[in-house]
A and B are shown apart, each in its own frame.
Chain A
Amino acid sequence: MPRRTDLTSILVIGAGPIVIGQACEFDYSGTQACQVLKEEGFRVILVNSNPATIMTDPEFAHATYVEPITPYYVERIIAKEKPDAILPTMGGQTALNTAVALAEKGVLRRHNVELIGAKLEAIRKAENRELFQQTIREIGLDSPRGVFVKSVDQAMEFAENTGFPIIIRPSFTLGGSGGGIAYNIEEFRPKIEHALTVSPIHESLIEESVIGWKEYELEVMRDLKDNVVIICSIENFDPMGVHTGDSITVAPAQTLTDKEYQAMRDASKKIIRAIGVETGGSNIQFAVDPATGRMIVIEMNPRVSRSSALASKATGFPIAKMAAKLAVGYTLDEIPNDITKKTPASFEPTIDYCVVKIPRWDFEKFRGADDILGVQMKSVGEAMGFGRTFKEALQKTLRSLENGRHGLGADGKDPFNPADLDAEQKKELLETITTKLRTSRQDNIFYLRHALQLGMSVAELHEVTGVDPWFLHNIAQIIETENELREYSL
């Protein structure tokens, strides 16, 4: 299918101000999209309230509106510019939410504007938790087990069948208050009793928790001919429970066999089809139980995301650029591969290196902010490194963080040298570090090394942190090399 000829002008929605969780990655994708659409001969109208972006440079669009990205302002732009279509998948959640609001208010219908990239129905299915989980179950995939209970007995029955930890979410309480997580039956009973009391309808959702499971992401692309390709797999160094934006992530996934990876690939294809993302890129997240391999679908972003920027850089496959072309009717086999130029884009990149991304935090600037990492993203940037081994990529990336460190070890910045400590001191220090490592914090990567230096085994460290033993063994190997180097002098 060639480029659509029934469209002449397209409105691209940017991501607005730089905030934690939504930064320059959406300028990266939006700029690519504007360039592509312009090259293809469309009239490009851009709205982005952030003038400090590349996409708002005058040459990237025919008309640029530096206006707030709210339904009110975007509606006025639509009324003035009369675009044929809106591309809402390049500007993060802000753009997507604005487009949904405009569609729901009937603005798009009134002005005869088409949503391209993702249709309203697909966005709703992906973004609404219940609709999403329902869709996942309909296609035979697994999502976290959960049930609404109205009595302690019902809750206890669920706990017996599912095991701990269990997440408790009382119904209709303000901001989810009265909820929490229970790690054992002793904690569970009082918490569920409390939840049922505070809920105005005496009801609570209880769900199995996947905290501590392995976390994976797949970057998927689909075209109007229903071709689906996977661009990249990503494995999180930090287990489930830490926001992906605050996790160290690794591409490609390192601890999956082919059978497990293909199951994830098949699931991704099913999901993008069932949710109904017709064209473009999506990001799908999975949790895997390290003990049994049980795979659960966590969520999906029906748009380009932080991870697709990472996947683009990691593989050389420009996801946003391709997504823009797919949105205007091209199919993957009609677009040349950006690297080879000769072969089509309908392929799956393979790489002969390892990529590591490490978030950069700035808690010094946010005085009073709690540096414990959890489900809300706190990092303000990230660095990325390539290497032929995980160790090489990890060390390069740590250096690139510009926090004064030169990677793990041998940079003269360690707070202590294990050789200077006696057994008692080592024991005390290890206890302190172990306690610290039980919570996810910005500098844990450095303390993983210290724990190993002080004699903790990989198995114990895995138990404490949930980080996969494969990653921990790599850190142990870095320490081995460091110790070897210590034997020499210049």
Chain B
Amino acid sequence: MNAKLVLENGLVFRGTSFGAEAEITGEVVFNTSITGYQEILSDPSYCGQIVTMTNPLIGNTGVNDDDRESGRPRVAAFVVREYFDFYSNHRARGSLGDWLREAGIPAIQGIDTRMLTRTIRQTGAMKAILSVGDVDDAELLLRARNSPGMEGLDLTREVTCKEPYAWDDLDATPYALPAVDVDPTQTSQRHHVVVYDFGVKWNILRRLRAHGCRLTVVPAATPASEVLRMNPDGIFLSNGPGDPGAVQYAIRSIGELLGKKPIFGICLGHQLLALALGGKTYKLKFGHRGGNHPVKNLLTNEIEITSQNHGFAVDPDSLDRAQIEITHVNLNDGTNEGFRHLNLPVFSVQYHPEASPGPHDSDYLFREFLRLLREQAAVPAS
């Protein structure tokens, strides 16, 4: 079946459908990961986005139950050069096309994704529409232009959990990184961490769990007072979609929690923490999405190859440097990748130490959080 991708600048890409027969608007972005399409598709941070892969060959390993980062695919739509329906992998349980169709997500293949990526790099992330069928180009262009943009959009409401829940799962595949430092079967020793769910990836929960945390995941709009009533040992701020500036209620809650509990943030959590500390965020031209971004840890001078997925970034000049130390920087474009508070047990990173997909180089950050939790536990309550 024919499908079309129309960008707000008027470019039309014609290909064939391999997902649901549907039409959807969204922001079109590219991801440079070679592997990991199932994790990318199910990452709630892609809510509202039409994702294209620079790797042209997609679908080769099918889909399975273990490589999901949430219950289902979350992208608005998926765009690839060549979709392969004949998957080959010992863990595969079905085809990517079927998985997308079941979730009602449209997908297009057979278009020049290199041209699409170059256009996004030159023009910046754009609004677009993916339509299956033969709707008129001009009509689609109009629909794309009239769709809401990312800026000012609070998408966390769409992906956060409705009710608090406990998380206890570990990565059950033979590929799991080992649990660290602690005996994860000893429930009594575990640190209680409340996870603010702005669209949390499951592997973050699995890694926190593997580091001996007992987890309570709470909705994004949970007030600080309610979290404090749970008496956690620490607080985690998750990744998530959209504009951090639009999630004012979360920024307020974080502000109230600062200084009360150790806090660790990833991605959107990093941006929200910056805003709560009086900093500013801005939209990047075309974002960082992929599994090959070099980041320098300024505390150790070591380089990590990191997994990234963000369209907004923290402006390091907006942070109060008397209180905040920049800890990580992106070696490709010098943007901020992490900071820590000099007086409080608070730190965050822009990238994804939980990987999935991507390299495991930054797993040490979970250990770092654990260290903070232990130190705080050792301090007698005042």
Residues of chain A whose beta carbon lies under 8 Å from any beta carbon of chain B: 225-227, 229-230, 233, 252-263, 265-266, 289-293, 332-333, 343-344, 346-354, 388-390, 458, 468-470, 473
Q: Which of B181-189, B258-266, B339-347, B355-363 contacts A (4 or more CB under 8 A)?
A: B355-363
For residue B249, CB closer than 8 A to chain A, the reply is: no
Q: 17 A-B Cβ contacts within 8 A?
A: A257-B36, A257-B67, A257-B91, A258-B39, A260-B89, A261-B34, A265-B359, A265-B360, A266-B177, A290-B90, A333-B303, A343-B331, A351-B34, A352-B54, A389-B81, A469-B86, A470-B60
Output the residue of B82, B91, B303, B305 with the most chain A CB within 10 A: B303
B89 in complex: contacting residue of A255, A346, A347, A458, CB < 8 Å: A255
Please list the 6 inter-chain residue pairs (A to B) with the smallest Cβ-Cβ separation, ordered nearest first: A258-B36, A258-B357, A470-B88, A258-B35, A473-B86, A259-B175
For residue B87, CB closer than 8 A to chain A, the reply is: yes
For residue B301, CB closer than 8 A to chain A, the reply is: yes
Output the residue of B38, B292, B294, B332 with the most chain A CB within 10 A: B294
* B91 and A258 within 8 A (CB): no
* A263 and B34 within 8 A (CB): no
Query: Beyond A343-B332, A388-B114, is A350–B32 a contact (Cβ under 8 Å)?
Result: yes
Which residues on A sit within 8 Å (CB–CB) of B38?
257-258
B88 in complex: contacting residue of A349, A350, A468, CB < 8 Å: A468
Tell me the chain B residues, 52-82 only, with Cβ under 8 Å from chain A: 54-57, 60-61, 64, 66-67, 81-82
- Chain A residue at smallest Cβ distance from B177: A266
* A354 and B60 within 8 A (CB): no
- Chain A residue at smallest Cβ distance from B174: A293
* B61 and A388 within 8 A (CB): no
Q: Kindly provide the distance from the CB of B186 to the nearest chain A CB, expressed in whole angstroms.
A: 23
- The CA of A10 and the CA of B177, in the complex, are separated in Å by 42
Which residues on B sit within 8 Å (CB–CB) of A263?
174-175
For residue B84, CB closer than 8 A to chain A, the reply is: yes
Output the residue of A343, A352, A390 with the most chain B CB within 10 A: A352
Which residues on B sit within 8 Å (CB–CB) of A227?
302-303
* A350 and B34 within 8 A (CB): yes
- The CA of A389 and the CA of B57, in the complex, are separated in Å by 7
* B301 and A225 within 8 A (CB): yes
Q: Kindly provide the distance from the CB of A350 to the nearest chain B CB, expressed in whole angstroms.
A: 5
For residue B201, CB closer than 8 A to chain A, the reply is: no
* A332 and B303 within 8 A (CB): yes
For residue B117, CB closer than 8 A to chain A, the reply is: yes
* A389 and B35 within 8 A (CB): no
* B114 and A469 within 8 A (CB): no
Q: Determine the interface band of chain B, counting residues with CB < 8 A from chain A.
A: 35 or more
* B175 and A291 within 8 A (CB): no
* B302 and A225 within 8 A (CB): yes
Total A-B contacts with CB atoms under 8 angstroms apart: 132
Query: Beyond A255-B60, A257-B89, A258-B67, is A352–B175 a contact (Cβ under 8 Å)?
Result: no
- The CA of A256 and the CA of B293, in the complex, are separated in Å by 21
Query: Beyond A257-B67, A258-B36, A258-B39, is A293–B91 a contact (Cβ under 8 Å)?
Result: yes
Apart from A333-B331, A344-B294, A352-B117: 16 A-B pairs, beta carbons within 8 A:
A225-B301, A233-B34, A257-B89, A260-B175, A262-B35, A262-B357, A344-B331, A347-B305, A347-B332, A348-B292, A350-B33, A350-B290, A351-B55, A352-B55, A389-B56, A458-B86
Q: Kindly provide the distance from the CB of A92 to the nearest chain B CB, expressed in whole angstroms.
A: 29
* B86 and A354 within 8 A (CB): no
- The CA of A378 and the CA of B74, in the complex, are separated in Å by 50
- The CA of A421 and the CA of B205, in the complex, are separated in Å by 61
Q: Kindly provide the distance from the CB of B360 to the nearest chain A CB, expressed in whole angstroms.
A: 6
Which residues on A sit within 8 Å (CB–CB) of B173?
259
A259 in complex: contacting residue of B66, B88, B291, B331, CB < 8 Å: B66
For residue B296, CB closer than 8 A to chain A, the reply is: yes
- The CA of A292 and the CA of B305, in the complex, are separated in Å by 29
Which residues on B sit within 8 Å (CB–CB) of A349?
292
- The CA of A226 and the CA of B358, in the complex, are separated in Å by 20
Interface string of B21-34 (1 = CB under 8 A from A): 00000000000111
- Chain B residue at smallest Cβ distance from A288: B90
Tell me the chain B residues, 338-382 only, with Cβ under 8 Å from chain A: 355-360
B294 in complex: contacting residue of A230, A233, A346, A354, CB < 8 Å: A346
* B355 and A262 within 8 A (CB): yes
- Chain B residue at smallest Cβ distance from A229: B305
- The CA of A469 and the CA of B55, in the complex, are separated in Å by 20
For residue B113, CB closer than 8 A to chain A, the reply is: yes
* B82 and A257 within 8 A (CB): no
Q: Kindly provide the distance from the CB of A261 to the nearest chain B CB, expressed in whole angstroms.
A: 5
- The CA of A263 and the CA of B171, in the complex, are separated in Å by 13
- The CA of A347 and the CA of B360, in the complex, are separated in Å by 14
* A292 and B90 within 8 A (CB): yes
Q: Kindly provide the distance from the CB of A224 to the nearest chain B CB, expressed in whole angstroms.
A: 12
Which residues on B sit within 8 Å (CB–CB) of A468?
88
Query: Beyond A347-B331, A470-B88, is A258–B356 a contact (Cβ under 8 Å)?
Result: yes
- Chain A residue at smallest Cβ distance from B35: A258
Query: Beyond A347-B305, A470-B86, is A256–B61 a contact (Cβ under 8 Å)?
Result: yes
Q: Kindly provide the distance from the CB of A308 to the nearest chain B CB, expressed in whole angstroms.
A: 18
Query: Beyond A258-B356, A266-B360, A473-B86, is A354–B67 a contact (Cβ under 8 Å)?
Result: no
Tell me the chain B residues, 76-135 only, with Cβ under 8 Å from chain A: 81-82, 84, 86-91, 113-114, 117
* A347 and B294 within 8 A (CB): yes
- Chain A residue at smallest Cβ distance from B92: A257
Query: Beyond A227-B302, A350-B32, is A257–B296 a contact (Cβ under 8 Å)?
Result: no
